[in-house]
């Protein structure tokens, strides 16, 4: 599933703006533990190789 496909599944006006605690406890902790995200978070976070893309190309 590409980024454009993910954008099409999110409701209009959707914003992903987690607090620092939410980001560390719910998202990054699972990433380190190799756990897949579920629900809306799975579509809101994409993995991007920062060494491949220019800053203006980032989603």
| 44 contact partners, CB below 8 Å, separation of at least 6 | 6, 10, 14, 16
Residue pair 6/39 in contact by the 8 Å Cβ criterion: no
Report which DSSP code applies to 46: -
Mean pLDDT of the chain: 75
User: How many CA atoms does the CB half-sphere of 4 hold within 13 Å?
Assistant: 0
pLDDT over 80 at 56, yes or no:
yes
How is the chain split into domains, by residue range?
3-57
* pLDDT score, position 4: 64
Per residue in 28-51, pLDDT (tens digit) is 877 778 777 665 555 566 778 889
CA 20 to chain centre: 14
* pLDDT score, position 15: 75
Q: Average pLDDT, stretch 21-32?
A: 80
């Amino acid at each position: 599933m590409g980024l454009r496909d993910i954008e099409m599944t999110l409701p209009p006006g959707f914003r992903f703006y987690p607090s620092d605690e939410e980001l560390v406890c719910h998202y990054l902790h699972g990433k380190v533990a190799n756990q897949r995200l579920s629900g809306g978070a799975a579509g809101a976070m994409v993995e991007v190789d920062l060494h491949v893309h220019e800053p203006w190309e980032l989603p």
